[in-house]
């Protein structure tokens, strides 16, 4: 489990997850289990790109929610939106 990923998820979509009784650390673990350890680097790179380029919070949240949702469903065929970063 990656603490940086947990912090990013908590900051950007933590309220959404906890409102639905989803443990943030569990979500981060599912990301790694579903997409591999490199997902953490992709997430960090996406956040750095978003912050540098003025991507608004809604777009960041939507991107992370998409990827976390796929991970929680263990959808190994889904392409994470952060994968190109």
Alpha helices by DSSP H, listed for 20-82, are 24-35, 38-52, 57-72
Average pLDDT score, the chain: 96
**pLDDT higher than threshold 80 for residue 1:** no
The number of C-alpha atoms within 13 Å of 47 and in the hemisphere containing its C-beta is 16
pLDDT band at 9 (very low <50, low <70, confident <90, very high): very high
Phi and psi for 54 in degrees, rounded to 5?
70, 30
Looking up tokens 């933590």 gives: 14
CA-based nearest residue to 24, from 74, 78, 71: 71
pLDDT for the residue numbered 40: 97
pTM: 0.94
Cα 18 from Cα 7, distance rounded (Å) = 14
Chain segment 34-44, per-residue pLDDT in tens: 999 999 999 99
């Amino acid at each position: 489990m990656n603490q940086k990923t947990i912090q990013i998820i908590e900051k950007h979509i933590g309220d959404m997850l906890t409102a639905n009784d989803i443990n943030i650390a569990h979500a981060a673990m599912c990301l790694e289990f579903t997409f591999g350890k490199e997902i953490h680097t992709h997430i960090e790179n996406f956040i750095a790109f978003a912050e540098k380029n003025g991507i608004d919070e809604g777009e960041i949240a939507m991107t992370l929610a998409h990827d976390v949702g796929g991970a929680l469903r263990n959808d190994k065929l889904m392409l994470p939106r952060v994968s190109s970063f």
